[in-house]
Amino acid sequence: MNYLIKSIDYQDCKEWLLKKHYLKRMTSISYAFGLFDNGFIIGVCTFGNAIPLTMKRSICGESFEHLVYELNRLCIDETALKNSASFFVGQCLKQLPKPMIVVSYADKSFGHTGYIYQATNFLYLGESHTQLDWKVKGLEHLHSRTLMDEFSFESNRIEKLKEKYGVRMYQVQRPPKNRYVYFIGSKTQIKHFKHQLKIEPLPYPKGENKRYDSSYQPTTQTKLL
């Protein structure tokens, strides 16, 4: 492939994540990369560190929690060549600082198994823990985090949401996701990470992937290098 992978900024990601990615919302971004084809952006991949401490510590323990980042968004245009996604992720991983522990999740509720992570040699750590999410009748398309963000800087967010939506508020069990991890570092560091890994890796899961509508064409798709 003659694609180029290059660091991009927050603004380059924004339209892709808000309008083209299936979650349609922003996320924590520490590192962002663009997939370029002849100077045009045809894909975006982001990594963030806004992860609950319990999740960070569940990988390799408290001593390495500061190294845990999440591959939290991956969005590629439908015109990209076959296997572009795994190529893109693999090249992004090579450009990240070392050492680092990268986790990512394949959302089974959206028909994702995680074949991209399997193709790039992530370890599979089984399914994530589930929890109850808040929903609003008539607005089921909204992710629970999007809902919570309406009062993101207030301690009584749930009370505020109940005041706004009343009896339309209800809770549902969040489906588990497939959890993957990838270690970045020297051979010695990677060996140490694997020794400290608190979850036994499992065989890769299988399933039928479903595609979502990603036909939206961001204006930043035409941004030249």
Which CATH number is 201's domain given? 3.40.630.30
Q: Based on the fold, state whether residues 59 and 140 are members of the same structural domain.
A: no
Question: What is the pTM (predicted TM-score) of this model?
Answer: 0.80
**Which pLDDT score, from 0 to 100, does residue 21 have?**
82
- The reported pLDDT for the residue numbered 221 is 56
Residues 163 and 190 in one domain: no
Range of the domain at 45: 4-128+175-222
Clarify whether residues 203 and 137 are in a common domain: no
Q: Are residues 61 and 85 in the same domain?
A: yes
Domain shared by 164 and 111, yes or no: no
Check whether residue 19 and residue 100 sit in a common domain. Answer: yes
- 87 lies in the same domain as 137: no
User: Is 145 in the same domain as 122?
Assistant: no
Residue 166 and residue 193 share a domain = no
Phi, psi of 110 (to 5 degrees): -105, 10
CA distance 214 to 205: 25
pLDDT for the residue 133: 78
Residue 225 is predicted with a pLDDT of 47
Q: What is the mean pLDDT of each run of 10 residues along the chain (225 residues)?
A: 92 90 85 94 93 92 96 92 95 98 88 91 90 82 75 82 90 86 97 96 84 62 51
**Domains in the chain, number:** 2
pLDDT at 91: 97
The whole-angstrom separation of Cα 38 and Cα 187 is: 35
Q: What pLDDT sits at residue 25? A: 82
26 and 76 assigned to the same domain: yes
Tell me: do 141 and 188 sit in the same domain: no
Check whether residue 80 and residue 62 sit in a common domain. yes
